[in-house]
Structure 1
Amino acid sequence: MTAPPKVSDLLADPLLRDARTLAGHAGLERPVTDVTPYRGTLTAVVGHLVLCDARDTTPAYRLDALVRRAQEAGAAALCVTAAATARPPLSAVRLADRLRIPVLWAATDDPLRLALDLTLRVRAPEVVRARTVETLVRRLGTRTEGPDLLAAARGVLAADISLVTSDGSAILGDPVPWDGTLRPELAVPQRTARLLAHPVHDSPAGQRSGAAPVPAAWLVWPYQRADEDRADTVALGLAVLEPFVRSWLATARTRADHDSAARRRLLEEVVGSRATVSREVVERAVALGWRLEDWHVGLRIHCETAAADRPDTVGAQLGAALARHGVAAHAVAERDGGWALWTSSVRQPAPDEARLLLREVRRALAELPRRWRPVAGIGWPHQGPGGLADTLTEARNAARLAGVREFRPSVELTDELGVARLLATWQQSDITQAFAETALAPLRDADHAHLLTTLRVFLENGGSSTATARALGLHRNTVTARLRQVRDRLGVDLDDPGHRLALQMACRAVQPAPE
């Protein structure tokens, strides 16, 4: 059997959400064992919340007497119900403060209903819980969309519930900072002193093969105060809500995957056709809000997400971060896990607008989780369907070069790359790719990956063994020994500038790009 609620617990309950504590704050921690309506006498009311009508407290001396009698009878608190909010006389307030008995003032048009609800809340919380669940199931059964489901649960449970990701970012509702005692990596319901969290389990189709179960999201209720019965009711409500939200997420994910695949195919057709897109392609693009004839600025963004990060959630957070900084872009998830994005405008963007976009993209990416290590490339403005293909290609090249940078987030604008643009073109050519695959083959297996890394860092640091050792955190002798192995396996002279340049281009060509 759970402990009886305290007066302060009832004040935190939705039933007395609008009630005010007018006096006797020192007694708010008194336990309430029952609820008794005042009928002219106060007997056997030890530990009870006494409900009285405003007429029982006027004139002023009657409230003074009622406060004194309630204290003498051992009542936990006195609650005055009235149709409108009023102020009790000062003498009664001072008396209640002195006697340390709480005096509550609850504005209600139906005092009998309030008395019945409070009685059930104190005497039979399990009945309240059952009724709440029944009402919640009925409300949820008529809703299919996430916002509607959350709104229904918030209304029935009278709790500010949010649907958040594993790092507390909001999917629906408000973001919720995790407290230090909650462990979001565990897919089990959890309760802390200020937080109630229930995992939304992933559907079998959405689970990664061989991966440990990871919640797709969390239903969370942050609260200031809640007694055990109230917390149990909300916890049960979250458990009831979870399968409905899971179904919505699965449906939304399927719909998003279908839409994403359709967008990706359409973009591939636009890029492949360039200026000769068919009428059907144009019509499909217009249906998606793509104005192919406009001026376009391409973006390419990639994040190093982990197995626990769902692509749809990552995309939603990325889009929200860009939107917060005024970047309204069309986005298409690509097959390699990155995103192709572009902004469109009727007029040709001014040169300073590209640099403004660069600054805003950097700010947006800085808001993403640091573990994602985002990189981005931005193309130059081009017009028409062929221009969209050109600017997206430029953005991809810029993103490749941004991925070479050691810091994150890294964002490059293609117009500012200079010689790097030429190098990007070279390293992506078929000839360079073929040379790289052949020349570096002896180092591309798992057992020699450390040698390939050492070679790449050595070449990027101008052929300096000292700088390479510093960058890799190794002793210079270790680097020297590794370079000797590289020479032996590749059969090249690393002191030859021509060989170093060719190998550097090859390393860049085979290096995992930000894709």
Structure 2
Amino acid sequence: MRALTARPDLEIRIRAGHGGLDRTVRWAHVTELHDPVRWLRGGELVLTVGLNVGATEAEQRAYVARLDTAGCAGLGFALDTWLTEIPPAMVDEAEQRNMPLLSVEGNTPFIAIVEAVAEHYATEQLRLQGKMLTAQDAMVRSALRTGLPGVVTELTKAVAGEALLLDQNGLTTHSVPGGEHPWHSTVRSAVVLDGDRPRGMSILADGDATILLQSLRAGGSTLGWLALRCSSPASAPTRMLTNHAASLLTMHLLRSRDARRLHHRARAPLLRLLVTDRTAGASAARLLTLPPPPFEVVHLATDRPDTLVDQVVDALADVMGSGPALDRAALCALDDGVLVVLPESRTRPRLGELLFTDLAARPEGPRAAGACQARGSAYLADAANRARRIAASGPGYRHAADTEAWSLLRDSLPAEASEEFQQTVLGALREHDARNGTELVATLRSYLEHNCGIEATARALGVHRNTLRARLRTAERVMGRSLDVPRHRLELWAALALDAGSAPGP
């Protein structure tokens, strides 16, 4: 009302109700009905020449009261057509109700006021559209420049609100303003992490504020959630900007996910070569960048390893977050599962257990996971076989260090003592392998793993029985120990176990 009455070209004079000039005019409506309320929706500036406003003071007051009760923005009179002045009772009633009462002066026709209201909303609509386009452009530029945080920040600037971005597990990825806020718990309680998940946009109440919760989905899977908190009911432009931000965030998350999958697919053949081909494994190890040793080697048992690989990549991002550690992790599909090489962690639960827990809750997740430690890339093949055997021992996640008494003895040894013992038993063998390109250490490990059986060991190594016997005789000569002596076999077993981080043997 204030903006409308301030226009000099309309020649409008305020006769009463100055306190109500902040009322919003939704439309201007001309009527001469005695009771037009049933045809009104609220927010109208009613325009009349006064034909049916009532003949008595009581009727005139009742006319003003009906319009005010109906939520009208104000009442305007055109004088000298039917009335020469506005009835004093109506002026007094309007003043008491803070309802603007206007007189249209001069030669201003009612249609000019109707057009002025329409023009105001058309101009406001153009302004809002311009503001939306500016905000959308800012979000796109921020998406290219700074990624997820930039999009969320620009959204909050455009709507003067607060925002929270959650990953697919309901964990905070980014918030504006930063830190944890009480309304975040309202959002998390609305995000169902298992079972049916929210689709599209939902509206949550937070006292007098409104929260828009938008799921970020692509290809039938939820990548995360965007929540926007506004201090007032969310307008249509606010909802449209939230949808735009959600689209940008979804594309960014989808692109990041696809890039991670492509990265790990490219590395998978090298890891597969490293653990299945001892001849080419050394070359593969030089090409494959892994986390700093020692590693946690995990075998995820499944009948559909090729299907599980992409899920493992996605779950790794949830468990490890983004960064160099995620890029250095390696995985590949094997015949009976997916092999994953992770950085070893002293904290509990281990990364492998967190990974298995995440995957086991998904459709077609792994039925079991076996894990063990490998001290370096040279021991990955043995560790992979050991992890596979552990996974076959039963459902759930099992780590060799948690299931073997050997780990208690190993962990009680000081590092210096362990290294000295290994060097005493294996030093000559290592030097021989390095100097002559032989694989005496690996041969002895396989020999012990297969219960000192010649047939089984030769088959596992892919060599003839006589070749294996020759290697064993060479190993005995180099290390100065006989494999027929139980104490010598025990020392060798312990040294190999300390060297690889897990005990050889079935």
Larger Rg: 2
Higher relative contact order (CA 8 A, sep 6+): 1
User: Normalising by structure 2, what TM-score?
Assistant: 0.43
- What is the TM-score normalised by the length of structure 1? 0.43
